Every structure is written in structure tokens, then in C-alpha cells.
Amino acid sequence: MSRERVASLSGLAPGEAVQVVAGGALVALAREASGEVHAVADLCTHAAVSLSEGEVEDCTIECWLHGSRFDLRTGAPTALPAITPVDVYAVEIEGDDVYVDTATIVNAATSKEN
């Protein structure tokens, strides 16, 4: 696994998403209210808008432009207009360090049709 430190856990508030770069890719790093951290590709598959600028709620992240929502665990769209999943990346927490591996796509959703 090729992983990269991208953030401090203490700097990522529950219910927040931030944009980070890992392996040269833009990643939306999101922390749920429960404290769990997820990493997904940072572009909405509907309109190529940054997902890290959207709201994180109920294990989803919302695209602020058109309201598409994506499940942070699977990448699957849960609200239209998006119909194509986003990639979900492996996340590891060690102490206060958050690591993301963009070489390891962990979601089962493989359809990339718009």
C-alpha cells in the first residue's frame, strides 16, 4: 500500500470536509459526526465541482452546486442529478495522523458512466 499523510485528525472537525492532495489526486477528506474519516475523489461526477466544499451528513457528502449526494463508504450517488459513483480511497489513522492511499480504490462501485 502506498499511503501519504494528508492531515491531522485533530484539525478535521466532525461534520467537516477538506480538500487534500494525495498521490497527485485531489481528495475530499471528510469526518462524520461519529468521528469516522473517509476519503473520496474530490470532483462530483455530475459537474466536476469540488465535493470538499459541500456538507457532510449521515455518511454522505453533498455537492454544493446541484445537490448530488454520495455515500462516503461506497461512493455511490444517493441523490440526483449524479448517477456515477466517486472513487473511495483507503484511509488509515495513526495517532493524530491521517493517511490516504489513492492507489487503493476501496469501493465496489466500478461503473463510470455519466
Burial of 8 (0-12, 13-18, 19+ CB in 10 A): exposed
pTM of the model: 0.91
**How far, in Å, are 9, 84, 96 from residue 58 at the CA level?**
19, 20, 23
d(CA 2, CA 13): 26
Indicate the domain borders of the chain: 4-105
Q: Which residues contact 110 (CB under 8 A, 6 or more apart)?
A: none
Of 1-5, 45-49, 77-81, which gets the smallest average pLDDT?
1-5
Could you tell me if 61 and 74 are in contact, meaning their C-beta atoms sit under 8 angstroms apart? Answer: no
Task: Determine the residue type at 72.
Answer: L
d(CA 94, CA 57): 24
Using one digit for the tens of pLDDT, what is the confidence trace for 83-102?
Answer: 999 999 999 999 999 999 99
Q: Is the domain defined by 4-105 classed in CATH 2.102.10.10?
A: yes
Check residue 2 and give its pLDDT.
Answer: 80
Indicate if the pLDDT at residue 27 is higher than 50. yes
Kindly state the greatest CA–CA separation across the chain.
Answer: 39
